[in-house]
Amino acid sequence: MKRQFATGLILALGIVGCKVQPTTTASGPKELVLVDIEKLPIEKAMLGFAPKVAPPVARDHQARVVVELEATERIGRLADGVEYLFWTFGDTVPGPMIRVRQGDYVELHMKNHEDSKLPHNIDLHAVKGPGGGAEATLVAPGEHKSFSFRALKPGVYVYHCATPPVGMHVANGMYGLIVVEPEEGLAAVDREYYVMQSEFYTKGNFGEPGLQEFSADRAMAEDPGYVVFNGAVGALTGDNAMKANVGERVRLFVGNGGPNLVSSFHVIGEVFETVYHEGGLTKNHNVQTTLIPAGGATMVEFSLKVPGDYLLVDHSLFRAFNKGALGMLKVEGKENLALFRHGAHDKRGVEEAAVQTADSHEGHDETEKAPVNAVKPDESAAVEVDGGKVYARTCASCHMPDGTGLKGTFPALTGSKVAMDDKQAVQTVLRGRRGNYGFMPPHGHLSDEEVAAVLTHIRKSFGNEGEPVKAEDVKALRGS
Amino acid sequence: MRTSAIHIIATAIMLLGLLQAAAPEARAETDDMVTVPAGDFLPFYADGNSAQSVPAFRLDRYPVTNAQFLAFIQATPRWRRDAAPPIFVDKGYLRQWGSETQLGSEAPANHPVTRVSWFAARAYCRAQGKRLPTQTEWEYAGRWGNTSADGLLTAEAVERQIRNYANGSRRVEKDVTTIAPDKLGLVGMHELVWEWVEDFEASSVVGGDRGKDGKTEALFCGGAVLAATDSRDYAAFMRYAFRSSLQPTHTLPSLGFRCAADIQ
């Protein structure tokens, strides 16, 4: 969901690459000397649309930064086959990243699209001043308001709509991050990404298709149907996965829009070498999982040593595997067997050992290396539900969109004996399964038709060739 | 923002007095109006949780339609969109109409009129010998018609209202005669468009003196919940927030009105 109204704005200064000055912390906090507003050069903010960040500040002086945001209300994709009426900043969820320098004078212009049904405003947590701008920016549909503030304190901050009912405006998607860089800038890294967790309180449960309404009851009960990164299931997986290379240092700006849940943010297979606690400037090192409060943010940095797929999760795990809180960082580069290998170290043949990956689950080793992605059309006339869609929203986050799974964690479906066994296949979907890889949760909430459709899809995709599964067989096994 | 709005209103009302010196003394037609019985009402943002007694009054059964507003324009050409002074209406005034004097396809006759400013709505009501309802009257009537037998606002009613308010850019104007009336016989209070009230500006929490009375923050964030008498009534939060975002010259595509009258 992008309409980048900032696109095409070219700074007169010309931003090239990342900031290179290193962070200096030894000298302690310097006193901020504010330049007279009238003397500040004026520039238009370059916004960052997740997962892209706003470009690092390329200035060594203060400026008057003009930020333009527009509130919209529009229907968009929450998951495959599931739509939601999002309320947004900048027509995106999360809203665009704003990035300024400590001491900047920020002039924030808030428009509300004419087609909006409701008023909106903005409260930026980076603001020192009543309401964070909320009262000054309460803007009716079709109108425009503005307010200005001095970015006094460096850090990573959430902004959000604060129009009553505040929780509902936030629950519908109105949040984003504003980064205030310290005067000396942030340390140079190779890549930066912008991730924001939030939850959606749909009337229907996870995966229930169609246009889902906001449920005030579920919001009050803090029982979301969806917990997602960047506004939708799959916004950071598959083709949307973030990318990086071995040897690079990565910085993630991670916010939590809430409105209710505290995130246990974790990247599977990584150790955060630096965590800027709660988005402030205090650093912690070698952190596995970091808490991000609702309405809070963090900045984590790590260097990539080993190629592969790294999953971003809320380690409150049922949110990750049953409500959508999954993202992926794909890391390419040369294997470093001295740092990580499948199987035991074998002095006699290091290279061979790397190829003979030793993990085996559910007996599909043979075909694992050669996934075939072509999907054959379903032949069964009885199957009306789109199994591909059910797969995309229910299975793909773990078993991956191409059915190849994730080695050692999620079994591949290509050649899966379980998927080909009529009874085991259905029972696995309905009741879950324990295997040597771990645990697959039950999906009994899927209808008989959906289970049949998704299994049929699996049996005719990913290089598999199997018979369709019938809804009546699912029904019979569900009762057994 | 509020201060400037007050100035605009004050100046404009003086001018309006001149414009309306010859306002017709038309009689309201009873069939088109519903009598709202007297009763006690706890406003959504109440000082000290004290109920207010609302005298009986009459309220238009339907929101004012395009056809009705066109008739008013024809009788009162100074409210045509090419004639109404900018101090009373912003540039969106009746923009969806086909022309100055014709409705056109975007403004069916029986749909609620929208894109009318508070001044224009007021002038219309005055021309009918009526007035805009107060916020308390509107809220009281809007609640009366949507309560259960024991007088409580049902969760189902709130949910329905939220659904109607939070429908994004989907068109909400419908033929007013196609909507089922509520228990009072009022049509479309929560189903069609937002509606102007006389004192949208002056409610106890979002009034002109904000800042002075320490309630500046009451509408935002936690403040809104602390001040509200029913923190589960999300629909009411939406109505009050909407009103407090308005200026009297605003002409929004989702905002119309209906008129009220005292009982003689």
pLDDT in tens, A261-317: 999 999 999 999 999 999 998 899 999 999 999 999 999 999 999 999 999 999 999
Asked if B54 and B41 count as a contact pair (C-beta separation under 8 A), the reply is yes
Does A1 have pLDDT greater than 50? Answer: no
Q: Helix, strand, or coil here: B192? A: coil
B81's tokens: 């969109």
Burial bucket for residue B48 (CB in 10 Å: 0-12, 13-18, 19+) = exposed
The span from the CA of A131 to the CA of A137, in Å, is 10
Q: Which residues of chain B does A130 touch, with a Cβ-Cβ cutoff of 8 Å?
A: 216-217
Instruction: Give me the percent of chain A exceeding a pLDDT of 70.
Output: 85
* Residue A2: per-residue pLDDT: 43
Task: Give dist(CA B189, CA B171) in Å, integer.
Answer: 16
Give the closest-approach CA distance of B45 to chain A in angstroms: 12
- Return the pLDDT at A19: 42
Cβ atoms within 10 Å of A249's Cβ, excluding its own = 17
- Facing A131 at nearest CB: one of B167, B217, B238: B217
Cis peptide bond upstream of A468, omega within 30: no
A152-179 confidence digits (pLDDT tens): 999 999 999 999 999 999 999 999 999 9
| CB contact (8 A) between residue A164 and residue B240 | yes
- Give the pLDDT confidence score for residue A295 in this predicted structure: 97
Kindly give the pairing relationship between strand A438-440 and strand A433-435. Answer: antiparallel
Helix ranges, chain B (H): 2-19, 66-75, 118-127, 135-144, 155-165, 221-227, 234-244
Write b or e for each residue in B110-142: b if 16 or more Cβ atoms lie within 10 A of its Cβ, otherwise e: ebbbbbbbbbbbbbbbbbbebbbbbbbbbbbbb
The C-alpha of A264 sits at a distance from chain B's nearest C-alpha, in angstroms, of 25
Q: Read out DSSP for A290-335?
A: EEE-TTEEEEEEEE--S-EEEEEEESSHHHHHHS--EEEEEEES--
Q: 10 Å Cβ neighbour count for B12? A: 20
pLDDT of A381 strictly over 60:
no
Contact A141 B246 (CB under 8 A): no
**Contacts with A, B 45-64, CB within 8 Å:** none
pLDDT of residue B118: 96
CB–CB contact B166 A217 (8 Å):
no
Alpha-carbon distance B173 to B111, whole Å?
Answer: 6
- Shortest distance between the Cα of A148 and any Cα of chain B, in A, equals 15
Question: Which residues neighbour A164 within 8 Å (Cβ) at sequence distance 6 or greater?
Answer: B219, B220, B224, B237, B238, B240, B241
Nearest by CB to residue B166, choosing from A85, A123, A135, is A85
Is A140 in Cβ contact with B250 (below 8 Å)?
A: yes
Q: Which pLDDT score, from 0 to 100, does residue A354 have?
A: 44
Task: Give the Cβ contact number of residue A239 at 10 Å.
Answer: 6
- Residue B221 forms contact with A (CB below 8 Å): yes
- Report the run of H or E that residue A439 belongs to, with start and end: strand A438-440
Contact A141 B165 (CB under 8 A): no
> Which residue is associated with the tokens 């009912």?
A165
DSSP state of B179: S
- Give the mutation candidate from B164, B173, B219 for the A interface (greatest A CB count, under 10 A): B219
Walk along chain B (264 residues) and give the pLDDT tens digit of each residue.
444 555 555 555 555 544 443 444 444 445 799 999 999 888 787 666 678 889 999 999 999 999 999 999 999 999 999 999 999 999 999 999 999 999 999 999 999 999 999 999 999 999 999 999 999 999 999 988 777 766 677 788 888 888 888 875 555 568 888 888 988 899 999 888 899 999 987 543 333 333 333 344 445 544 555 566 777 788 888 999 999 899 999 999 999 999 999 997
Q: What is the pLDDT of residue B14?
A: 52
Q: Would an 8 Å CB–CB cutoff place B229 in contact with chain A?
A: no
Chain B hits for A217, CB-CB cut-off 8 Å, are: 155, 159
- The candidate with the shortest Cα–Cα distance to A399, out of A297, A472, A268, A311, is A311
Coil, strand, or helix at residue A430? Answer: helix
Distance (Å, whole) CA A128 – CA A109: 18
Structure tokens at A230: 């960047």
Amino acid at A86: F
Contacts of A218 in chain B (CB under 8 A): none
Per residue in A391-412, pLDDT (tens digit) is 988 888 788 888 988 776 788 9
Rounded distance between C-alpha atoms, residue A173 and residue A73, angstroms:
10
The answer to whether the Cβ–Cβ distance between A118 and B166 falls below 8 Å is yes
**Predicted-assembly ipTM surpassing the 0.90 threshold:** no
Q: What is the dihedral of CA A383, A384, A388, A393, to 10 degrees?
A: -120
In B, which residues are within 8 Å of A163 by CB distance?
Answer: 220, 241, 245
B237 chain-A contacts, CB cut-off 8 A: 164-165, 168
Partner-chain contact B216 A130, CB within 8 Å: yes
End-to-end Cα distance, chain A:
44
For the beta carbon of residue A161, count every other beta carbon within 10 angstroms: 27
pLDDT score for A128: 94
CA-nearest of B200, B112, B194, B182 to B141 is B182
Question: Is the N-terminal amide bond of B43 cis, ω within 30° of 0?
Answer: no
The amino acid occupying position A433 is R
Beta bridge partners of A69: A110
Residue that has been written with the tokens 């007694």 in this structure: B53
Of B92, B234, B245, the CB nearest to A119: B245
State the Cα–Cα distance between residues A175 and A156, nearest whole angstrom.
Answer: 13
Give dist(CA A70, CA A141) in Å, integer. Answer: 10
pLDDT in tens, A310-343: 999 999 999 998 999 999 999 999 998 889 988 8
How many angstroms from the chain centroid is the CA of residue A23?
27
CB distance B224–A166 less than 8 Å? yes
**How many contacts, defined by CB atoms under 8 Å, are there between A and B?**
109
Average pLDDT across chain A, whole number: 86
| Residue of B167, B220, B232 lying closest to A135 (CB–CB) | B220
Got the DSSP string for A78-117?
Answer: EETTEEEEEEEETTBSSPPBEEEETT-EEEEEEEE-TT-S
User: CA dist B62 to A39, B32, B76, B190, Å?
Assistant: 57, 7, 22, 11
Residue A270 DSSP SS3: coil
B240 CB neighbours in chain A (<8 A) are 164
Ramachandran angles phi, psi of A248, nearest 5° = -90, 155
Q: How far, in Å, CA of A14 to CA of A10, rounded?
A: 7
B169 vs A214: CB contact, 8 Å cut-off?
no
Nearest to A169 by CA among A239, A264, A95: A95
- The answer on pLDDT for A378 being more than 60 is no
> A376 pLDDT band (50/70/90 cuts)?
very low
* Interchain pair A164, B219: CB under 8 A: yes
Which residue, among B45, B169, B231, would best test binding to A if mutated, counting the most A CBs under 10 Å from its CB?
A: B169
- Contact between B220 and A75 using a beta-carbon 8 Å cutoff: no
Interfacial B residues in 65-124 facing A (CB < 8 Å): 92
Element holding A354 (H helix, E strand): helix A350-355
What pLDDT is attached to residue B203?
Answer: 46
In tens, the pLDDT along A232-263 reads 999 999 889 999 999 999 999 999 999 999 99
Cα separation of A4 and A200, whole Å?
24
How many C-alpha atoms does A424 have within 13 Å on its Cβ side?
A: 10
pLDDT, tens digit (0-9, with 9 covering 90-100), for A30-87: 789 999 999 999 999 999 999 999 999 999 999 999 999 999 999 999 998 999 999 9
What local confidence, expressed as pLDDT, does residue A252 receive?
98
Residue in chain A nearest B254 by alpha carbon? A117
Amino acid at A311: L
Q: Which of A143, A145, A216 sits opposite B162 (nearest CB)?
A: A216
Rg of chain B in Å (alpha carbons): 18
Q: State residue B173's pLDDT score.
A: 64
Question: Which chain A residues are Cβ-neighbours of B238 within 8 angstroms?
Answer: 118, 164-165, 168
Contact A141/B252, CB-based, under 8 Å? yes
Inter-chain residue contact A166 with B221, CB threshold 8 Å: yes
Kindly state the tokens that stand for A351: 């290279």
Q: What is the pTM of this model?
A: 0.75
Question: Across residues A180-186, what is the average pLDDT?
Answer: 95
Chain A residue with minimum CA distance to B193: A117
Contact A442, A433 (CB under 8 A): no
> What's the confidence (pLDDT) of residue B4?
52
Q: How far is A221 from chain B (nearest CA, A)?
A: 12
